[in-house]
Structure 1
Amino acid sequence: SRGMGVLEEVIAASREAGTLCIVDAKRGDIGSTMAGYADAFLADGAPLAGDALTVSPYLGFGSLTPAVELAHETGRGLFVLCLTSNPEGKQVQHATVADGSSVAAVVAREAAALNAAAGEAGQLGSIGLVVGATIGEAARELGVDLAAVNGPLLAPGVGAQGAGATELAQVFGDARSSVLASSSRGVLKAGPSVEQLQIAALAAAEEAREALTA
Structure 2
Amino acid sequence: MSAGSPGAAAAPSGAPFGARLAAAMDEHGPLCVGIDPHASLLHAWGLPDDVSGLREFSLRVVDALGGRVAAFKPQAAFFERHGSRGLAVLEEVIAAARAAGSLTIVDAKRGDIGSTMGAYAEAFLADGSPLAGDALTVSPYLGFGSLAPAVELATATGRGLFVLCLTSNKEGFEVQHAVRSEDGTERGTSVAALMATHAAVLNAGAEPMGSVGLVVGATIGDAVAATGTDLVAVNGPLLAPGVGAQGAGERELATTFGEARRNVLASSSRAVLGAGPTPEALVSAARDAAREATDALRG
Q: Normalising TM by the smaller chain, what interval?
A: over 0.9
Distance 1:3 1:169 in 2: 39
2-side partners of 1:32 and 1:195: how far apart? 46
Counterpart for residue 130 of structure 2: 47
Could you tell me how far 1:159 is from its partner in structure 2? 4.3
Determine the C-alpha separation between the residues in 2 that align with 1:66 and 1:34.
6
| Structure 1 stretch displaced more, 163-172 or 72-81 | 163-172
State the distance in 1 between where 2:276 and 2:171 align. 29
| Aligned mates of 2:244, 2:264 — CA distance in 1 | 15
Shift in alpha-carbon separation, 1:160–1:31, aligned structure 2, 3 A = farther
Name the counterpart of 1:183: 268
1:33 maps to what in 2?
116
1:152 aligned residue (228, 233, 237): 237
Give the superposition deviation at 1:191: 2.4
1:24 aligns with 2:107: yes
Is the CA contact (8 Å cut-off) linking 2:176 and 2:190 kept in structure 1?
A: yes
Change (3 A) 1:149 1:163: same
Instruction: Kindly provide the CA deviation profile for residues 62-88 of structure 1, in whole angstroms up to 9, marking residues without a partner as x.
Output: 000000000000001101000012121
Contact kept, 8 Å, 2:218 with 2:240, in 1: the verdict is yes
Which residue of structure 1 aligns with residue 210 of structure 2?
A: 125
Q: In 2, are the aligned partners of 1:176 and 1:212 still within 8 Å (CA)?
A: yes
The alignment's TM-score, normalised by the length of structure 2, stands at: 0.68
2:158 alignment counterpart: 75
> Pairwise CA RMSD of aligned residues?
1.3
TM-score, normalization by structure 1:
0.94
Distance 1:6 1:163 in 2: 32
State the match for 1:114 in structure 2: 202
Q: Distance in 2 between matches of 1:77 and 1:111?
A: 11
Identity level (%): 72
Pair 1:6–1:194, CA change in 2 (3 A):
farther
Counterpart of 1:61 in structure 2 is 144
Q: Which amino acid aligns with 1:28?
A: G
Alignment match, 2:77 = none
Name the SS for the 1:79 alignment partner.
strand
Counterpart residue type for residue 18 of structure 1:
G
Identify the residue that residue 281 of structure 2 maps to in structure 1: 196
- Give the Cα–Cα distance (whole angstroms) in 2 for the partners of residues 85 and 195 of structure 1: 32
Which structure is richer in relative contact order (CA contacts within 8 A, separation 6 or more)?
A: 2
Name whichever of 40-49 and 184-193 sits farther off.
Answer: 184-193
Q: Work out the CA distance in 1 between the residues paired with 2:149 and 2:271.
A: 34
- The ranges of structure 1 where at least 4 consecutive aligned residues each deviate by more than 3 angstroms after the TM superposition are none
Structure 2 gaps, min length 5: 1-82, 183-187
Write the distance in 1 (CA, Å) between the matches of 2:104 and 2:250. 24
The letter for the 2-side match of 1:4 is: L
Q: Cα offset for 1:213?
A: 1.4
2 CA distance for matches of 1:101 and 1:207? 35
Question: For each residue in 1:14-58, what CA deviation from the matched residue of structure 2 results, as whole angstroms up to 9, or x when unmatched?
Answer: 100111111111111111111111001101121111111110000
Q: How many residues align?
A: 211
2:242·2:267 contact (CA, 8 Å) conserved in 1? yes
Superposition deviation, residue 168 in structure 1 = 1.4
Shift of 1:160: 5.2
Higher gyration radius (CA): 2
Instruction: Answer yes or no: is the 8 Å Cα contact 1:42–1:53 preserved in 2.
Output: yes
Ranges in structure 1 where 5+ consecutive residues have no aligned partner: none
- The equivalent residue for 2:181 is 98
SS in 2 for 1:106: helix
Matched, 1:13 2:96: yes
